[in-house]
Structure 1
């Protein structure tokens, strides 16, 4: 946790950065917004998969079990591909 003084200093630095590099500020805000949306979508897909997984066991349904496993594998692969793409972009910038 930052102290009050550190928070004020950080706010001053942020304002100066926004004034000096508005394009960078815009890009950073867009990145944060997109990342938050992706995280919510993945969390929702995983939640649906887990609920369906539990329901499949409760109902003794092989079809629902298969569907839930496919949903969870899809979410896992989506996260994995996204992580590799992010790693590749970072590595390309170096």
Structure 2
């Protein structure tokens, strides 16, 4: 399941939990516990996805840095106003 889908599903479960808590008045009701456990599973899944995405970004960033560090010729990049200038050495 995609991150945005997980977030939407989690939001729906949170609303459902609030409604159930108001209707049933007992947070230990088996139905509330079941929905809460499902929300917990989604939270864990979302955290894993975000961790994987962060690790992927680190890997991509490292490979880009390696390629740029070894590239020739050296370039100097500066910003003047909203214009970027690239100076080759």
* Superposition TM-score, scaled by structure 1 size: 0.49
| Number of residue pairs aligned between Structure 1 and Structure 2 | 58
Question: Aligned match of 1:59 in 5, 12, 24?
Answer: 24
Question: Aligned match of 1:73 in 31, 40, 45?
Answer: 40
Is 1:91 aligned to residue 71 of structure 2?
no
Question: Any unmatched runs of 5+ in structure 2?
Answer: 63-89
Rg comparison, structure with higher value: 2
> RMSD of the alignment, in Å?
2.3
Q: What residue is the counterpart of 2:3 in the other structure?
A: 38
Which structure: greater strand fraction?
2
* Superposition TM-score, scaled by structure 2 size: 0.51
Moved over 6 A (4+): none
Q: 1:7-36 CA distances to partner (integer Å, 9 max, x unpaired)?
A: xxxxxxxxxxxxxxxxxxxxxxxxxxxxxx
Question: Any unmatched runs of 5+ in structure 1?
Answer: 1-36
- How much has 1:80 moved relative to structure 2? 0.6
